[in-house]
Amino acid sequence: MNKPYVLLYFFILTIPLLLGLAALQSNHYMDLEKDVRRLEAVQEEWVRGNNNFIANIAVLSSSARIEQVAVRDLRLSRILPENVLQVRIEGGESQ
């Protein structure tokens, strides 16, 4: 067998192998790209959910709503300043 023919056969057999590997790599890349798009959609959904939670926290922690719950549900009323008793303890060690 002549040496140039061995190299020719080697290149002839190597080209389909390289094309097959390129096809496998392309398929793997497309699968990874699909996963990235899916994860980006999930991330977008989480961000929207977090924004909704932040908006709900802002609504629920408003002072007007807290006062309404205190008056209506808990039947609390505002205390007058003259009815407040302050206790001060002196003589103790302060930190």
Domain that holds residue 22: 3-83
55 assigned to some structural domain: yes
For the segment 24-33, the average pLDDT, to the nearest whole number, is 97
92 assigned to some structural domain: no
Domain count, the chain: 1
Look at residue 4 and tell me whether its pLDDT is greater than 90.
no
91 assigned to some structural domain: no
88 assigned to some structural domain: no
Look at residue 94 and tell me whether its pLDDT is greater than 80.
no
CA distances from 70 to 6, 28, 57, 67, 82 (A): 92, 60, 18, 5, 21
33 assigned to some structural domain: yes
24 assigned to some structural domain: yes
At residue 74, the pLDDT reads: 92
For the segment 43-61, the average pLDDT, to the nearest whole number, is 95
Q: Where is mean pLDDT largest: 1-5, 16-20, 36-40, 91-95?
A: 36-40
At residue 93, the pLDDT reads: 67
89 assigned to some structural domain: no
66 assigned to some structural domain: yes
Query: pTM for the whole thing?
Result: 0.55
